[in-house]
Structure 1
Amino acid sequence: MEKIPEQREFSGKKIVLYGPESTGKSTLSRKLAQHYHTAQIQEFARGYLQDKYDTTGKACEYKDILPIAIGQRKLENEATKIAGDYLFCDTDVLETYVYCMAYFNQAPQELISAVEKSTYDLYVLLQVDLPWQADDLRDRPEQREEMFTLFKAALLKFKKPFKIVDGMNDARFENAIKAIEQTL
């Protein structure tokens, strides 16, 4: 089976939008990329798992974890070729790790190694203060605080730099910019 690619070198700053479902990662990564006139990476898992659900009716399985991590890393590596001073990542392999642990209580060693080797300048951990938006894939509306705690614990475990960002609509965007500017 294909391996998770190594991270491609990037001379700018890599920022991961990170956190539980329905916290605005995708919207915020797009807005930040527009604000900083640079590239952003979409979440690979969303398309991969939506296609799986649409064709088989099945949700994520343990065997999907490595293909998701591989796909996310490939998107990231390709984006480094076109990004400016910043690259905004809508999730990363650490996010995949958190969900893997939450759903399967284990993670492939290859994924753990990729998390340990991964370097980002900042993780923007998004608070669960936005209203829940249901879809085919989201399934834990009552466990948002618990999931937030798991996401934060993973950042601490793997010693990743992070700032917690909250706020509704424009305030969330402005708070993210402040976190980026203060950190980088």
Structure 2
Amino acid sequence: MFKVAITGPESSGKTHLAIALAAHYKTAYTPEFSRLYLKKHGTAYDEADLLEIAKGQYNWELAYARDAKRLLICDTDLLVIKIWSEVRFQECHPWIERQLHLHPYDLFLLCKPDLPWEPDPLRENPDDRDQLYLRYLKALQDMNATFTEISGLDFEQRLQQAVSFIDRSLGLAG
């Protein structure tokens, strides 16, 4: 199974892109588990909650992979939870770090926060998205991950950037 993680700061178009890519490739996508978890348990959370969110995201990826056709699109990933934990609690649980390395993603699409902020009761960081973006960029570089940056105000342009990168990576570009 070829796994594509859509990563980056809040309100950078990850979910919209995940849904569109899944439709384009006629495959499954893994939704963002944290939304379900925080809606159920409330927005006050601690490090133990982030570990549960990470485990939920990981388990959803396993479950949704069964319905995917060669390609699984992941709307968020364990890197998001790692950075979220480091920013909020100045540390990350070893399980999250371990899973990120034991079960790597094949590609990352790093969404640039050049879209307007969309308020949402579950979002926390409207003012530091550019700083967070740089943190994601450094983390991906440090991991030697295969990634591309997705940018631009036009959604079709962002989608085409993602499709071109995935197609090249899968050997579909001609």
How high is the TM-score relative to the length of structure 2? 0.92
Whole-angstrom distance in 2 between the partners of 1:162 and 1:59: 32
Q: Structure 2: any 5+ residue segments left out of the alignment?
A: none
Residue 141 (structure 2) aligned to one of 138, 141, 156: 156
Alignment of 1:9-158 (within 5 A): 10=1, 13-53=2-42, 58-158=43-143
**Range that drifts further, 43-52 or 124-133:** 43-52
Deviation at 1:52, TM superposition (A): 2.0
1:165 counterpart residue number: 150
Among all aligned residue pairs of Structure 1 and Structure 2, give the percentage whose two residues are the same amino acid: 33
Deviations 1:81-108 (A, max 9, x none): 1110211001111111011111111011
Whole-angstrom distance in 2 between the partners of 1:160 and 1:65: 23
Question: SS state of the match for residue 114, structure 1?
Answer: helix
How high is the TM-score relative to the length of structure 1? 0.87
Whether contact under 8 Å (1:59, 1:137) holds in the other structure is: no
Return the letter of the residue paired with 1:15: V
Whole-angstrom distance in 2 between the partners of 1:67 and 1:95: 14
Return the letter of the residue paired with 2:107: L
Question: SS state of the match for residue 116, structure 2?
Answer: coil
**Range that drifts further, 58-67 or 93-102:** 58-67
**Runs of 4 or more consecutive aligned structure 1 residues displaced over 3 Å after TM superposition:** none
Q: Structure 1: any 5+ residue segments left out of the alignment?
A: 1-9
**Range that drifts further, 154-163 or 100-109:** 154-163
Question: SS state of the match for residue 142, structure 1?
Answer: coil
**Range that drifts further, 32-41 or 166-175:** 166-175
User: RMSD over aligned Cα, in angstroms?
Assistant: 1.2
Number of matched pairs: 169
Deviation at 1:148, TM superposition (A): 0.3
Deviation at 1:141, TM superposition (A): 1.1
CA gap of 1:160–1:60, structure 2 versus 1, over 3 A, is: farther
1:7 counterpart residue number: none
CA gap of 1:60–1:151, structure 2 versus 1, over 3 A, is: farther
